Amino acid sequence: MTPSRAELLLVAELAAEAERYDDVISQIKAIADQYDGRLFNDERNLLSIAYKNKTNTLRNSWRVVDTLEKMQASRASAGITTRQLLLIRQQRKKIERELANVCKDIVKLLEKQLLPNANQGEERVFYSKMKGDYYRYLAEFAHEIEREWYAEESLSAYKFAYRHAMSTLESVHPTRLGLALNFAVFYHDVRRSPDRACHLAKNAFDDAVKSFDSDFSDHNMSQTIRDSLQILQLLKDDLVLWSKEIQ
């Protein structure tokens, strides 16, 4: 018997609690297949969390192994054995393949099902931001021509999302602010341009601050406002760091 949407979601929620993110993804994909790529907010958020956790683990592993490889390479250049270097390099490439597969999987889902069926406004911004994020992750460890292609795809997705956010979402909306934060990170980490990163982050920060009603306290703040304030703090922290780099 084909499980209902509620049953698929229940299993996905259980899998998320158990940190079985492959199971989360398979359940939400089943919902997308059955309902023409249309996900409710809770389904969409579970999907986002699952892919984020999978990629974060792999990205952290890659950074550790990449650092160790560089350290070992400097020793090898001084005449120390290259055997360990070879083993480390093999492990780094294995992690890259796994990470690439995960990123390409969510990009394919976004391009084939989720984005074509997304509503105008927040949903389309959310999915376009995701597309930019995962192409950015691919660009972080790819090489030469491939890296540039992934970077261009990421830039295109972020630009589309940002234009759409500017015309459909308020400046304090957490999805718009989260997009601005990640887009700025793209300019800093991938394009190596702290100037452009600061410019984008500062504009988003200033626009949001101007729109906030200063007359609210903790007890009457909605969760949306709390989310926005958290992202604003991240934008502020990055602005401080990047400004120091420019100086």
Per the structure block, which two tokens stand in for 137? Answer: 């992750």
- Residues 133 and 244 grouped into a single domain: yes
Q: Is the pLDDT of residue 79 over 90?
A: no
Q: Is the pLDDT of residue 6 over 90?
A: yes
CB 122 within 8 A of CB 110: no
Boundary residue ending a domain (93, 110, 127): 110
CB 42 within 8 A of CB 9: yes
- Residues 149 and 106 grouped into a single domain: no
- Residues 92 and 166 grouped into a single domain: no
Average pLDDT in the 58-76 region? Answer: 89
- Domain span at 158: 118-247
Average pLDDT in the 164-189 region? Answer: 97
Q: Out of 6-15, 208-217, 234-243, which region has the weakest mean confidence (pLDDT)?
A: 208-217
Q: Is the pLDDT of residue 186 over 80?
A: yes
- Residues 151 and 240 grouped into a single domain: yes
User: Is the pTM here over 0.95, yes or no?
Assistant: no
Contacts of 121 (CB under 8 A, 6+ apart): 164, 168, 169
* 3 state DSSP class of 118: coil
- Residues 188 and 246 grouped into a single domain: yes
- Residues 100 and 122 grouped into a single domain: no
Q: Is the pLDDT of residue 111 over 70?
A: yes
Q: Is the pLDDT of residue 41 over 70?
A: yes
- Residues 106 and 78 grouped into a single domain: yes
Which CATH number belongs to the domain containing residue 150 in this structure?
1.20.190.20
Q: Is the pLDDT of residue 196 over 50?
A: yes
Contacts of 115 (CB under 8 A, 6+ apart): 124, 127, 128, 131
| Number of domains forming the structure of the chain | 2
pLDDT at 43: 98
Q: Out of 61-75, 184-198, 219-233, which region has the weakest mean confidence (pLDDT)?
A: 219-233
Average pLDDT in the 72-79 region? Answer: 69
- Residues 105 and 124 grouped into a single domain: no
Q: Is the pLDDT of residue 148 over 60?
A: yes
- Residues 91 and 36 grouped into a single domain: yes
Boundary residue ending a domain (57, 89, 110): 110
Kind plus residue range of the DSSP H or E element containing 70: helix 41-77
Q: Is the pLDDT of residue 46 over 70?
A: yes
- Residues 91 and 164 grouped into a single domain: no
pLDDT at 215: 46
Boundary residue ending a domain (81, 110, 139): 110
Average pLDDT in the 115-129 region? Answer: 97
pLDDT at 75: 72
- Residues 103 and 125 grouped into a single domain: no
pLDDT at 222: 81
Q: How far apart are CA 189 and CA 147, in angstroms?
A: 13
At 81, the pLDDT band (50, 70, 90 cuts) reads: low
At 15, the pLDDT band (50, 70, 90 cuts) reads: very high
- Residues 51 and 74 grouped into a single domain: yes
